[in-house]
Copies of this chain bind each other. A is one copy, B any other.
Amino acid sequence: MPSAPNPTAPDAALRRGERAEVSRALNDVESTLPDAATRTRERLARLRAANAFARAHTVGITGPPGVGKSTLAAALVRALRAAGRTVGVLAVDPSSVRSGGALLGDRVRMTLDPADPGVFVRSLATGGELGGLARSVPVEVLVLSAAFDVVLVETVGIGQSETEARHVVDTLLFVVQPGSGDSVQFLKAGIMEVPDLFVVNKADQAEAEATARDLRASLAALRAAGVATEEFSVVSTSATTGAGIVALVEALDAHRARLLASGQLEARRLEGTTAWALTAFARRYGEVGMARRGGREAVRRAIHAELEVGRDVLAALDELDPFAAK
């Protein structure tokens, strides 16, 4: 009589960061097949019970195209590997098919050692749909959180409440290049989400210091206006020469340490997951479904309550189905 498969063996492989198992788990998340959804739900529930997500530091890398996010991500990966930490990279490319060009993830992968088992890179092309971020990325980040010490999520940053990268990661890093103006304008107008850490990349350029100074002034103004209460860090880097990368790693670690020390890490993850689940609820069940469940605030509270008692977010969404036969 064959013994039943032991689900903890794949979980252990995933938690060791074994490529095949991590890929399998991410394939399940991206799949639209009901079986895959069930496997994901069960996998996440087991990993949650084992407190497997706490180890990772999740870091979002956003910024307009062309500022060198991929090169910076690759430089970060090398610095983290040199420090003995494993890294999972999720590169979300919302550019439309028509624009052509390599996937973000390919650009990161190209410059890394393919034989290093401590690095895992996954590309996700969302075909022009930024909303794709809201759909599967948060769950993929969760899977990677169980497998690696640091999870980097690289994406184009455009503020939109539904797609806020800060709901997905512990630390949100925003990359600009010297002379950037439009992004700071979006930020000032309150349209673009406020990151935790700014990186002025390509800092070998002459304007870098002026850009960093402008950014610091803008950020001071934002704080004075009450938009943000925290201290912002601005780090200048050159991903090509490697200048500033160690300082950036230190700034990332310092941000996570602050979140942990103040008890905000758990709170932020809970709030982020709640916000994502609320968006997912609206997407799945519509305004009609939202109204049947008593409106947006009632649904938010219901989701929050489910998450607080440790229920998995995907299970919570099924549980709250307003159209389910009673």
Contact surface of A with B, Cβ cutoff 8 Å: 64-67, 94-96, 98-100, 128-131, 156, 158-162, 177, 179-183, 185-186, 188-191, 225-227, 282-289, 323
Do A190 and B226 touch across chains, with their CB atoms under 8 A apart? no
A198 to chain B, nearest CB (A): 14
Contacts of A225 in B (CB 8 A): 98-100
In Å, the complex CA distance between A137 and B289 comes to 23
Show 17 residue pairs from A and B whose CB-CB distance is below 8 angstroms, ordered by the A residue. Answer: A64-B186, A65-B189, A96-B190, A98-B226, A100-B225, A128-B161, A130-B160, A131-B160, A158-B159, A179-B181, A180-B181, A181-B182, A182-B183, A285-B287, A286-B286, A288-B323, A323-B323
Do A65 and B99 touch across chains, with their CB atoms under 8 A apart? no
In Å, the complex CA distance between A224 and B161 comes to 34
Give me the 10 closest cross-chain CB pairs, A-B, nearest first.
A286-B286, A99-B190, A182-B182, A96-B190, A65-B189, A64-B182, A285-B286, A66-B185, A65-B185, A95-B189
Pick the residue among B94, B96, B180, B284 that contacts A287 (CB under 8 A). B284
Contacts of A191 in B (CB 8 A): 65, 94-96, 128, 130, 156, 158
Given A64-B185, A98-B225, 4 other A-B residues pairs in contact with their CB atoms under 8 A? A99-B190, A128-B190, A179-B179, A180-B181
Contacts of A283 in B (CB 8 A): 282, 286-287
In Å, the complex CA distance between A227 and B99 comes to 7
CB-based nearest B residue for A292 = B323
In Å, the complex CA distance between A293 and B278 comes to 23
In Å, the complex CA distance between A162 and B282 comes to 14
In Å, the complex CA distance between A115 and B120 comes to 65
A86 to chain B, nearest CB (A): 30
Contacts of A100 in B (CB 8 A): 225
A63 to chain B, nearest CB (A): 9
Given the interface pairs A65-B185, A160-B130, the reply to whether A288 lies near B287 with Cβ below 8 Å is: no
Contacts of A190 in B (CB 8 A): 95-96, 98-99, 128
Given the interface pairs A179-B179, A182-B180, the reply to whether A188 lies near B99 with Cβ below 8 Å is: yes
A218 to chain B, nearest CB (A): 12
In Å, the complex CA distance between A186 and B95 comes to 9
Contacts of A185 in B (CB 8 A): 64-67
Contacts of A130 in B (CB 8 A): 160-161, 191
Contacts of A286 in B (CB 8 A): 282-289
CB-based nearest B residue for A96 = B190
In Å, the complex CA distance between A160 and B128 comes to 8
Contacts of A66 in B (CB 8 A): 181, 185, 188-189
Contacts of A189 in B (CB 8 A): 65-66, 95, 99, 156
In Å, the complex CA distance between A160 and B225 comes to 28
In Å, the complex CA distance between A96 and B288 comes to 26
